[in-house]
Structure 1
């Protein structure tokens, strides 16, 4: 039930991001301003942007599949390994299907820097990086989970900003990618639990002490980003000026990071429900006595 509710929250978040950023005029105007601001950074960040985006490829995804399979075999976690590979494949395939076939970008009669009806949500590059992180989280030992999550979140955020700077994606595209991977992760976690419903811990999850600070940072980033985004849309002349597009690009970064932190936290929570059940009274065996 908890995994299902987490997945439902991801699905609602994805639908909301799609509606606001693609189906509303104000969302489209802000997205266009942030993209124009990102393009202004292209010449200054071209080399770094290209290096980041060139890392994400079919070869890197296949390498992740091999790594996930190796870890699962070493740890004798066959179900988790298959679920992780399914998560990786499902997230990336569903991104392609949603972006190219199912989700429409209607012409709302506004001028945009990119083709008005060319849908780019969700971001394939961001999906690839975050889904690779989520797949690894499903198979690595629990003690490695938080460092892996932090590294994955950082890599996903950098990739999202790089796709904006390259002019490939708007902020909403990468935010949607985070949420889509979260939904796919809950499905994978559900498969693991269904495969062996009596051997998983569903009650003893505890957030680490640093969580409250991360939650505060995420809330602050989201609040600041939303406030600045609304202010820019109200002050349209500033939003459409060069200085305003720089601000819009920065706001896009705030929103991506502010969404990525709780999304990764929810992924960790869903995966914690697949952990082996431990008896609260279990103790290590006593050494033999002479």
Structure 2
């Protein structure tokens, strides 16, 4: 199934410069303020804990704002992404921010071929990453392969229940219209824009994505030799996932369902530790 990589890579290559120029990613703040962190990592800090001195890898790092933020918290970071254009922007951001980060080009499943297995204390995966992968069990094996025994995974992601909701309805109903469980065939989307404000007119509009149920994610990690250290579900997301139905709320300026937000888990944080050999 190599076609999904080619299709998605073309889309992300085109998104990268638009994202890097956007106010949402805010490269200027990283350049101006040596303590500036991405909104996602700022939200993550209470559960992330002290990462000073750890060797970390950010899988599917895109243009590197979270990667730079983790470096600023004291980890020695590597960023990995399959989009050369994204890594060009990530390297530029690291230079602007004065961060010493190694960025490596590879698809997720090829990570053990370009990174040293068993050499990382921390694997970090951020919002909107694993949905581009067709097989969550292979993802879990990659995570376990990269970690040292006792090393830990930290992932915050959109909740699979949120991904299953129809986000284009104009009424107030929450309707489950998409797969919750992993399915062999991808969801194929054709959309002309992206999730930041941009005037760019996109040419590569098609993407392929998959949902993965919470049980599938947890079981994949357990079967890969990991122990679950924590699973926290959140009632907010760092983007307006359901336009017209959400309100921005303090203290992190995340988005929450306006009407009875407790009906729907928006995102989750999962922490896991690789078992001793």
- Structure 2 length normalisation: TM-score? 0.26
Higher strand share: 2
The structure having more radius of gyration, on CA atoms, is 1
Higher helix share: 1
- Structure 1 length normalisation: TM-score? 0.25
